[in-house]
């Protein structure tokens, strides 16, 4: 697969460039090309805003922005959205990482720093707030720019849970029926409902107005607010400090581990403190999502093999797929179990051949399409090839799925062609959902990483009726492989594998995207 360019694939080029900058691999020329593209191309700006919410410092010249700045829309009609069970977007931590990387490049290498007007103009291109995650959420209101980004205006959470991040870094979770209004990135109104808020240092001063003209002003770092239908309000400070301000009244401070309550006509007074566990925080929302994902995986009828490594008993890895064939459990007598991509998931750590998992799996003859997928985190990329799931022997029809030294993915069927993606797909220290889908009818192989299709190719020399079209599994190994001809040539995976899955059909990109969004950490 050729390296994407702005001309050949605008979306892939922007995503790859942002990854390079986040990881500190970018150059001054790359930064310059990126900001020139954003300055001149409205579609590039749309893709950029959709994929990552940068906090502050990607610089553009003020003259290039002009009318492209996002402004509040006038006379909006209320817009209704229903987010199905789990809807998760890229985290603000990623955006902050990219911003920091770009800032470091500019400070270290650029001839001059961006001016305040340049920063402000770029900042104005970003949405005021974005939906980060939701659970069975139904949101209505006129503040929506699209399904995931919000501007100034009113919102109503009619049911479910929604996590919203603001471009100044503030983060809130709304739970249940909530009346809510965004005035700007630093000021919101909660007229009814339950809200948890986290404000890092750059977001200190974030204000929540409540009925009766009383404002909660964050001074760092975490608090919860409840407003009942009558306008009675409680604020609980879990960490740091907030101020409660009333018109023509002295401000009052609420410190960590204390609470205050008031009504529309009554002044603030001390109240019984309740802990953060009574609120849905961003962390508990994500944990609910992972738990729901696990339950859904156990109920899927299209899974032939599902290892999640959570229940190792005497070195055995149970096949948890609802349609599992007999004797398809794995053997891992020397497995090293560690915390996986969430606090309640378990992964295996691979460093030596003996840490691998052996299994026997036969593809049903009638299954002419299938998908192999795994959650992986590489700690090193120091081997030419590192096995995710490989057949032990190498007869005609045997299949391999591996990571390359350059961070690409490679797969092949013996008797046909191997297919390798470009480099830089797999990043050290980062969880990825990797997948390869095969259609044995036309001999096509398609790779996916983190829900996105990264390449497809026909991979057979022979006709579809030849043995190479009959992909075999048989005896397999997860996390390592030894070449039968050159046994000292080890292909040990260096890092962590959280789940391994084999589906009974070639999943579409839409389904793999849904799998990634539901299961990502």
The pLDDT of residue 238 is 95
Q: For 495, left (φ over 0), alpha (ψ -120 to 50), or beta?
A: left
Gap between the terminal Cα atoms of the chain: 28
E strand residue ranges, 148-286: 149-150, 153-166, 171-184, 187-198, 207-210, 214-227, 233-246, 252-255, 259-262, 269-271
Multiple choice CATH, 300-519, 2.60.120.200, 2.160.20.10, 3.40.50.720, 3.20.20.70:
2.60.120.200
* Cross-strand pairs, 347: 338
The pLDDT of residue 422 is 83
CB 231 within 8 A of CB 211: yes
Please list the pLDDT of the chain residue by residue as tens digits (521 residues): 445 566 556 777 787 777 766 555 556 677 777 777 776 676 776 677 655 433 333 333 333 333 333 333 333 444 444 443 444 444 444 344 444 444 444 444 443 444 444 444 444 457 899 998 888 889 999 988 887 889 999 999 999 999 999 988 899 999 999 999 999 999 999 999 999 999 999 899 999 999 989 999 999 889 999 999 999 999 999 999 999 998 878 899 999 999 999 999 888 999 999 998 899 988 888 777 778 888 899 999 999 999 999 988 889 999 999 988 889 999 999 999 999 988 788 999 999 999 999 999 988 777 788 999 999 999 999 888 999 999 888 777 788 999 999 999 998 877 666 788 888 899 999 999 999 998 877 778 899 999 999 988 876 544 444 444 456 788 999 999 987 776 667 899 999 999 999 999 999 999 999 899 888 87
The DSSP code for 113 is P
Cα–Cα distance for residue pair 319/191, rounded to 1 Å: 49
Among residues 252, 52, 251, 230, the alpha carbon closest in space to that of 132 is found at: 52
The pLDDT of residue 425 is 92
3-state secondary structure of 229: coil
Among residues 123, 152, 5, 128, the alpha carbon closest in space to that of 65 is found at: 123
The pLDDT of residue 25 is 56
The pLDDT of residue 448 is 96
- What the block records as the tokens of 210 is 């409540």
- What the block records as the tokens of 185 is 């990135």
DSSP per-residue codes, 159-195: EEEEEEEETTS-EEEEEEEEEEEEEETTEEEEEEEEE
- What the block records as the tokens of 85 is 């069970």
What lies within 8 Å, CB to CB, of 397 at 6+ separation is 413, 414, 415, 467, 468, 470, 471, 472
Pairing, β 214-227 against β 252-255: unpaired
CB 253 within 8 A of CB 264: no
- What the block records as the tokens of 499 is 């789940």
Among residues 370, 354, 361, the alpha carbon closest in space to that of 391 is found at: 361
DSSP per-residue codes, 341-396: SSTT-EEEEESSGGG-EEEEE---TT--EEEEEEEEEES---SSEEEEEEESS--T
The alpha-helical segments, DSSP class H, found in 110-251 are 116-124
Q: Residue ranges per domain, the chain?
A: 127-281, 300-519
What lies within 8 Å, CB to CB, of 282 at 6+ separation is 132, 133, 163, 171, 173, 196, 198
CB 100 within 8 A of CB 202: no
**Cα→Cα distances 84→137, 140, 173, 293, Å:** 7, 14, 17, 13
Among residues 497, 252, 507, the alpha carbon closest in space to that of 350 is found at: 497
The pLDDT of residue 32 is 72
Cα–Cα distance for residue pair 508/449, rounded to 1 Å: 13
The pLDDT of residue 476 is 93
CB 214 within 8 A of CB 201: no
The pLDDT of residue 125 is 52
The pLDDT of residue 10 is 75
The pLDDT of residue 108 is 42
**Same fold across 127-281 and 300-519:** yes
CB 32 within 8 A of CB 112: no
The pLDDT of residue 30 is 73
The pLDDT of residue 63 is 36
The pLDDT of residue 463 is 43
Domain 127-281 part of CATH 2.60.120.1440: yes
H or E stretch covering 283: helix 282-299
Instruction: Assign 3-class secondary structure to 37-91.
Output: HHHHCHHHHHHHHHHCCCCCCCCCCHHHHHHHCCCCCCCCCCEEEECCCEEECCC
- What the block records as the tokens of 311 is 């229940």
- What the block records as the tokens of 13 is 């080029």
The pLDDT of residue 170 is 94
Looking up tokens 């609120």 gives 279
């Amino acid at each position: 697969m050729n390296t994407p360019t702005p001309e050949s694939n605008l979306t892939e080029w922007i995503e790859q460039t942002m990854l390079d900058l986040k990881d500190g691999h970018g150059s001054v020329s790359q930064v310059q090309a990126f900001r020139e593209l954003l300055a001149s191309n409205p579609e590039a700006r749309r893709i950029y805003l959709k994929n990552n919410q940068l906090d502050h410092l990607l610089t553009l010249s003020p003259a290039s922005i002009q009318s492209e700045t996002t402004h509040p829309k006038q006379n909006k009609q209320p817009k209704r959205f229903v987010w199905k069970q789990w809807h998760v977007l890229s985290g603000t931590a990623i955006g902050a990482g990219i911003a920091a990387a770009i800032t470091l490049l500019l400070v270290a290498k650029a001839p001059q720093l961006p001016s305040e007007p340049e920063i402000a103009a770029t900042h104005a291109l970003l949405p005021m707030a974005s939906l980060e995650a939701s659970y069975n959420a139904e949101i209505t209101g006129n503040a929506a720019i699209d399904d995931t980004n919000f501007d100034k205006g009113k919102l109503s959470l009619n049911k479910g849970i929604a996590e919203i991040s603001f471009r100044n870094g503030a983060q809130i979770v709304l739970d249940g029926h909530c009346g809510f209004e965004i005035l700007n990135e630093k000021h919101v109104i909660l007229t009814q409902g339950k809200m948890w808020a986290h404000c890092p240092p750059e977001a200190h001063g974030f204000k929540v107005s409540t009925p009766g003209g009383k404002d909660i002003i964050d001074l760092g770092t975490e608090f919860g607010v409840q407003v009942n239908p009558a306008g009675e309000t409680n604020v609980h400070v879990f960490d740091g400090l907030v101020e409660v301000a009333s018109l023509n009244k002295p401000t009052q401070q609420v410190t960590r581990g204390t609470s205050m309550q008031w009504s529309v006509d009554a002044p603030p007074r001390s109240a019984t403190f309740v802990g953060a566990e009574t609120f849905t925080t961003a962390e508990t929302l994500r944990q609910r999502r992972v738990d729901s994902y696990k339950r859904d995986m156990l109920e899927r009828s299209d899974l032939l093999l599902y290892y999640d490594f959570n229940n190792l008993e005497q070195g055995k890895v149970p096949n948890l797929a609802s349609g599992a064939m007999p004797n398809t459990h794995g053997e891992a007598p020397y497995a090293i179990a560690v915390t996986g991509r969430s606090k309640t998931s378990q992964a295996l750590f691979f460093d030596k051949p003996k840490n691998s998992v052996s299994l026997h799996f036969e593809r049903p003859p009638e299954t002419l399409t299938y998908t192999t997928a795994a959650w992986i985190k590489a700690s090193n990329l120091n081997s030419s090839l590192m096995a995710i799931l490989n057949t032990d022997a190498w007869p005609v029809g045997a299949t391999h799925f591996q990571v390359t030294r350059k961070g690409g993915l490679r797969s092949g069927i013996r008797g046909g062609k191997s297919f390798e993606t470009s480099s830089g797909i797999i990043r050290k220290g980062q969880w990825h959902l990797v997948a390869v889908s095969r259609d044995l009818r036309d001999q096509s192989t398609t790779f996916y990483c983190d829900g996105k299709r990264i390449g497809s190719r026909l991979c057979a020399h022979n006709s579809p009726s030849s043995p190479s079209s009959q992909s075999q599994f048989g005896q397999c190994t997860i996390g390592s492989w030894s070449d039968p001809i050159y046994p000292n040539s080890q292909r040990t995976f260096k890092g962590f594998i959280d789940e391994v899955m084999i589906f009974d059909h070639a999943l579409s990109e839409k389904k793999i995207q849904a799998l990634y969004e539901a299961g990502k950490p």
